[in-house]
């Protein structure tokens, strides 16, 4: 294993991810530039790549400033090239992206947006899940269909259980409340809830989780079929 994935809090509840392997640094989904630049200066690194998962401003707004400072190569979905910053590497399902010695396979995961992609570093057991799969939750279906989102989640659920799930937001405690309303007797969920509450009490990230954690407790991965998934996702949209 060569890849180190570090969550970097941005805005109020976003995470960029700093990926490092063999002297190469890449930044995933920089919502803003200043904290990324500060982190890089603190750690004495220069990012060479920016990996994008989808076009929403809270995942790409920091790209122009980072390009001005570092001149990074930008990687993103070919299908969304028309609404992403200019891409140096346009990718689609099954393509590969290198960060130093680490190699990711691109997974198309439409649902949250129609052009959303994830990056799976199989040898390093790291999944850049962004806004498709959250700790105890999933992204809101905005552009795609419920069927697309369910299919995307099933792709991710099939990855090895030890795979780290690197999500794009700190939504865990809200997701926990909904998950407990769905499965109040789920012991794995209760145990995870205790752990996540303790992390947030110390202002620490709840990410990454693992695929195994999500299979045990995430109500959207535990939906038995597309109809049950849709019912749960609609219920979450209005849950308070």
First-last CA distance in the chain: 41
- Decide if 56 is catalytic: yes
Beta bridge partners of 166: 128
Structure confidence at residue 240 as a pLDDT band (50, 70, 90): confident
Helices (H) and strands (E) in the chain — how many of each? 8, 14
Total-model pTM: 0.97
- Decide if 82 is catalytic: no
d(Cα 177, Cα 193) in Å, to the nearest integer? 9
Catalytic residue among 55, 56, 116, 120: 56
Structure confidence at residue 1 as a pLDDT band (50, 70, 90): low
Name the residue with tokens 């995307």: 152
**Number of domains within the chain:** 1
Mean pLDDT, range 102-124, rounded to an integer: 98
pLDDT in tens, 124-152: 999 999 999 999 999 999 999 999 999 99
Catalytic residue among 55, 112, 116, 120: 112
Catalytic residue among 108, 120, 169, 213: 169
Catalytic residue among 55, 59, 116, 120: 59
Catalytic residue among 29, 54, 80, 213: 54
Backbone angles phi, psi at 48, to 5 degrees: -100, -25
Mean pLDDT, range 90-94, rounded to an integer: 98
- The DSSP code for 189 is H
CATH code at position 23: 3.60.15.10
Mean pLDDT, range 180-206, rounded to an integer: 98
- Decide if 54 is catalytic: yes
Backbone angles phi, psi at 79, to 5 degrees: -65, -25
Range of the domain at 212: 4-237
pLDDT in tens, 218-232: 999 999 999 999 999
Residue 134: per-residue pLDDT: 98
């Amino acid at each position: 294993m060569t890849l180190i994935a570090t969550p970097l809090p941005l805005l109020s509840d976003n995470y960029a991810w700093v990926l490092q392997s063999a002297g190469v640094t890449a930044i995933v989904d920089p919502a803003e530039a200043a904290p990324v630049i500060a982190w890089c200066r603190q750690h004495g690194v220069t990012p060479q790549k920016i990996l994008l998962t989808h076009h929403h401003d809270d995942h790409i707004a920091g790209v122009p400033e980072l390009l001005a400072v570092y001149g990074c190569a930008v990687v993103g979905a070919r299908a969304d090239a028309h609404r992403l910053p200019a891409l140096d590497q346009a990718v689609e399902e099954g393509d590969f992206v290198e960060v130093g010695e680490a190699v990711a396979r691109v997974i198309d995961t439409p649902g949250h947006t129609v052009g959303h992609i994830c990056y799976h570093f199989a040898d390093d057991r790291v999944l850049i899940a962004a806004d498709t799969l959250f700790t105890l939750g999933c992204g809101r279906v905005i552009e795609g269909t419920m069927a697309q989102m369910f299919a995307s989640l099933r792709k991710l659920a099939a990855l090895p259980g030890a795979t780290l799930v690197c999500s794009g937001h700190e939504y865990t405690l809200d997701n926990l409340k909904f998950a407990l309303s769905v499965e109040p007797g789920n012991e794995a969920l209760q145990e995870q809830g205790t752990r996540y509450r303790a992390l947030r009490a110390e202002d620490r990230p709840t990410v990454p989780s693992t695929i195994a954690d999500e299979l045990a407790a995430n109500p959207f991965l535990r939906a038995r079929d597309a109809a049950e998934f849709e019912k749960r996702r609609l219920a979450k949209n209005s849950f308070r």
